[in-house]
Every structure is written in C-alpha cells, then in structure tokens.
Amino acid sequence: MFTPLYKFDFFGVEISFVVAVIIGIMFGFTLERAGFGDAKKLAHQFYFRDMTVLKVMFTAIIVAMIGTLLLNLVGILDMSLIYLNPTYLGPQIAGGVIMGIGFVIGGYCPGTSLVASATGKVDGFIYIAGALFGMLIFGETFPLFQDFTVSGFMGNAKLTDLLGLTPGVVAFLIILMALGMFWGAEILEKKFGAEES
Amino acid sequence: MQDTKEKYWSPYVAGFVLGLVLLATFVVMGRGLGASGAMMRTVTYVVDTVSPEHVDNNSYFAKYAGGDKNPLSNWLVFEVVGVILGGLLSGLMAGRFKWKTEHGPRITPKGRWAYAFLGGGIMGFGARLALGCTSGQALSGGATLATGSWAFMMVMFASGYVVAYFVRKQWI
C-alpha cells in the first residue's frame, strides 16, 4: 500500500495546498455542472420536483465508497489512514435538524452557496454573509453548550461496526438502497416535476 | 426563452464525476472534501484581526487561531478557493454567469434575500454544531461509512422535508 500519497510523505504541506486548490477547482466545477449553483434547483428537492441533489449525492457516495474498497482490495489504498469523521450523535443529530431547516429557508448549503456566488447569484452572496454570521454566533455562544457538543461520543464508529457486517455487504446494501431511491426519485419527478418549464 | 446556455450534466454523470473527485481526494490526501470549515476559519481570522485576546479567551476560536496560529493556513481554505474558481470557470464556460437573484414566482428578490440571510445564518450555526456540512459530513463521511455522518445526513433531509411545507411560498 502506498496511498493516501500525503500520508506516505510523497509531498509536504506546501504542495498539499496546491493540491487543495486543484481538487477544489474540480469540486466546484462539478457542483456547478450538476446545477447546484441554482437555489431553486436545490430547494425543489424538498418538493419532489427535482431530485438532482439526492441522485448526485448518492451516486457520488457510491462511486467513492466502491473506489476506496476496490483500491484497498488490490493493495493500493490503506483505508485506515483516511480521515474518518468521529461520531458525536448529540450535536450531529441536532445540527442535522438545524441544517435541514436552514437548507429549505436559505436554498443552499455552504458549498453550493460558494458556487452560486461564483456564478453571480446575489442570494448566494447574502447566504454566505448569513452563514458567516451564524458561525460567529456559534463561536461566541460555544461556552454555553460546550458539554452538548461532545455528547453521544462513539469514537470512530462505522456502519460496519453498528450493523456487524463486512464493508462489502454494507456497500452492497447502500447500493441497493440508493437504486431504490433513484427509482423512487424518477417516479416523483414525473409526478411533481411536470409543471417545470 | 432558450438561449445559448449549456445544459447541466445528467445528475448521475455529475454524481459519478463528483465521486471520482472525492475518491481522488481520499487517495491523494487521505481526507475528504469540505466547505463550512473554511468559512469558520474566515470568521475566526476576522475576529483574530479585531481582537486576538478575544480569540485566546474563547476555547472554540482558540482551536483555530489561538496564540500565533493563522486560521487561514489550512488545507480546506485552499480547497474552498479552488471551489470558487472551479464554479466560476464552469459558469463562464457554460454561459451561465449572470448577476441575478434566484427566487420562486411568489416572492420578491428582496424577500428572497431575507430568507437567504436567515437560512444561511441557521445553517452556519448548524454546520458548526454538526462538525461539518453537506460536503464534510454527508458526502465525505457518508462514503467512509462514518456512523454519525449517516445519522446527520438522514436527519438533515428529514428535517428539510418537514419544514419545506411552511416555506413553500418562497419556492413554488
């Protein structure tokens, strides 16, 4: 195994920042091509008129998930060296509820608001201003709920541990679930998306 | 009213390419993508410029910029600069760059701005609480099968669907 390249010291911090810009360009380019610079397209997800968000997200998750598993299988990628988001169920669930509310009201998520602004959307700039303000409030009030931000800690928990299944089986189940959702998404779009011009 | 604008990619094509970008990030860097972390660092940078003492006295800001730490000297900050460039590049190439406000048929642009600021504020707060946003938690954490990221993703979409009814006049 010789990847992740950065973890095997193929290059240092300075080069990693150059890599960051390049990866960012590909990320932003793809988000724009998916139509994620348009708040209406994103918000229509929540009215079953345009299920692009679900389709793009789950296709991407599946591709990256299968890719890492395969590269690990053939001895190229050491998956234990990939950063794994630690689980803090309390703040992640509460944050999820809050972000769902913000998503429908604001029309973007942080990443897509950047792409929207980059293509001239005024509401994108205002959303970013709002997001920065919300983060300032979070930082200022953090001491008040500091204990809650570490509640429900489960370490580097993975679905494989939770379900007691191998990564391959979990991946297979996720693919099945995604295919089911894609099928449902196509039906919903036919039903609710017709009035779109 | 069809002009010279190019069409968006099929969602499945865009998802496939996005998956490859994420996979490349795992293989090259050993980490995932993100967005809100860089925004938080920008906020912290401003606070640190105004009052370094205030940053050092707040455990959250201090994590990013305590003492001599520069909050902007971080991988995510450079990645987000790239995201903006990439979005701009794609928009220009497709003829989609245009100064305008996206809003539904039943709301004025000014009303939409108020919602955008409010929603952005709620989401900015939530993203810090959830330790990441759609990119860092749902996408990157989802692909690495992180339990908390999946919980976050499910709850976020469920919450969005519940609230959607109450703000429908903004969008449809």
Q: Mean of the pLDDT values across residues A140-145?
A: 96
Same-domain check for residues A123 and A99: yes
CA dist A72 and A166 (Å) reads 14
Per-residue pLDDT tens over the stretch A1-12: 999 999 999 999
For chain A, how many structural domains are there in total? Answer: 3
Same-domain check for residues B2 and B87: yes
Same-domain check for residues A121 and A164: no
Q: Which domain holds residue B162?
A: 102-172
In sign, the C-alpha dihedral spanning B79, B80, B81, B82 is positive
Is the pLDDT assigned to residue A21 strictly greater than 50?
yes
CA nearest neighbour of B80 among A136, A56, A62, A117: A117
A132–B118 C-beta distance less than 8 A: no
Q: What is the pLDDT of residue A196?
A: 52
A92–B130 C-beta distance less than 8 A: yes
**Of B99, B121, B145, which one is at a domain's C-terminal end?**
B99
Question: Which residues from chain A sit within 8 angstroms of residue B129, using beta carbons?
Answer: 91, 94-95, 98, 138, 149
Q: Which of the residues in chain B have pLDDT under 70?
A: 1-5
pLDDT category, A197, cuts 50, 70, 90?
very low
Per-residue pLDDT tens over the stretch A151-194: 999 999 999 999 999 999 999 999 999 999 999 999 999 999 85
Per-residue pLDDT tens over the stretch A36-76: 999 999 999 999 999 999 999 999 999 999 999 999 999 99
**Of B84, B99, B114, which one is at a domain's C-terminal end?**
B99
Q: What is the pLDDT of residue A193?
A: 84
> What is the interface pTM, i.e. ipTM, of the complex?
0.97
CA dist B126 and A42 (Å) reads 18
CA nearest neighbour of B127 among B2, B31, B28, B43: B43
Question: Which residues from chain A sit within 8 angstroms of residue B155, using beta carbons?
Answer: 92-93, 96-97, 100
Same-domain check for residues B90 and B164: no
**Of B37, B72, B99, which one is at a domain's C-terminal end?**
B99
Is residue B25 within 8 Å of A23, Cβ to Cβ? yes
A158–B145 C-beta distance less than 8 A: yes
Question: Which residues from chain A sit within 8 angstroms of residue B162, using beta carbons?
Answer: 100
Question: Which residues from chain B sit within 8 angstroms of residue A127, using beta carbons?
Answer: 116-117, 119-120
B151–A23 C-beta distance less than 8 A: no
Minimal Cα–Cα distance from A153 to chain B, Å?
9
Is residue A184 within 8 Å of A126, Cβ to Cβ? no
Minimal Cα–Cα distance from A167 to chain B, Å?
9
Per-residue pLDDT tens over the stretch A69-125: 999 999 999 999 999 999 999 999 999 999 999 999 999 999 999 999 999 999 999
Secondary element (H or E) of residue A192: helix A167-192
Per-residue pLDDT tens over the stretch B31-58: 999 999 999 999 999 999 999 999 999 9
> What is the pTM for the complete model shown?
0.96
CA nearest neighbour of B130 among A134, A196, A123: A134
Secondary element (H or E) of residue A88: strand A87-88
Ordered alpha helix ranges (H), A35-166: 39-43, 52-73, 89-106, 110-118, 122-141, 159-163
A33–B35 C-beta distance less than 8 A: no
Neighbours of A153 (CB within 10 A): 13
Q: What is the pLDDT of residue A138?
A: 98
Q: Which domain holds residue A150?
A: 85-155
Same-domain check for residues B91 and B111: no
**Nearest residue in chain B measured CA to CA from A13:** B75
Question: Which residues from chain B sit within 8 angstroms of residue A139, using beta carbons?
Answer: 40, 43-44, 47, 58, 60-61, 128
Selecting from B19, B91, B150 the residue whose C-beta is nearest the C-beta of A118 gives B91
B160–A100 C-beta distance less than 8 A: yes
Q: What is the pLDDT of residue B1?
A: 44
For chain B, how many structural domains are there in total? Answer: 2
A77–B83 C-beta distance less than 8 A: no
